[in-house]
Amino acid sequence: MLSAQLEAYLAEINLPATIEQKKQLIDFVGMLNKWNKAYNLTAVRDPEAMLVRHIMDSLVVSKHLQGERFIDVGTGPGLPGIPLAIMNPDKQFVLLDSLGKRIRFQKQVSFELGIHNISSVESRVEAYQPEQKFDGVLSRAFASIQDMLTWCHHLPAEHGQFYALKGQLNDEEMQHIPGGFAVKEVIELKVPKLDEQRHLLKIIKE
């Protein structure tokens, strides 16, 4: 059932996937559903809803990623980082979260599903000082754009970008983007089966 739905959704967003990638995505939903019962990782309880609200909501960003090294800030159980890592095996993803139970879940997913291009870090974003900076700093439902840029300003490499995944765009929020940053692009995203607004903001340091 989920496999057929995933197949249709991937076709709808024109994102090719191997048999192995599709299996990893479905197995990730299965693990999220199983662990959720004990650890309360997400408010979404139904695997079919998880497929739309977590997997597809993450994957619509995939074709917009530029570079090889990414950090997913406030990743929770690994969203959007784990679905994006599955679909982009040539890119590296650091998953950053301050809660140990979420990090344990991510590590188990990496181990069980054989995802080798993610690494999980338990830390507050302000305290995390990576040796190597990132081509892309991702955040999904993590904070306001203002807070994201203030807390994550030290993470992108020289030509790196911020990728803020937002729902409806808030004019007030857009007007409070801190100095030294510029919105390079606003992309309207369409998530299959989701009748809600989704936007990707690409932001650069000036």
pLDDT in tens, 76-86: 999 999 999 99
Map out the domains of the chain with their CATH numbers. Answer: 3-205 (3.40.50.150)
Q: What is the pLDDT of residues 5-51, one digit of tens each?
A: 999 999 999 999 999 999 999 999 999 999 999 999 999 999 999 99
Q: What is the pLDDT of residues 95-107, one digit of tens each?
A: 999 999 999 999 9
Candidates 180, 146, 143; CA nearest to 165 is 143
- pLDDT at residue 187 in the model: 97
Chain centroid to Cα 137, Å, comes to 10
Strand, coil or helix: 26 = helix
For residue 181 the two structure tokens come to: 């940053």
- Binding-site sequence positions for S-adenosyl-L-methionine: 74, 79, 125-126, 140
- Binding-site sequence positions: 74, 79, 125-126, 140
- pLDDT at residue 86 in the model: 98
Q: What is the pLDDT of residues 109-164, one digit of tens each?
A: 999 999 999 999 999 999 999 999 999 999 997 788 999 999 999 999 999 999 99
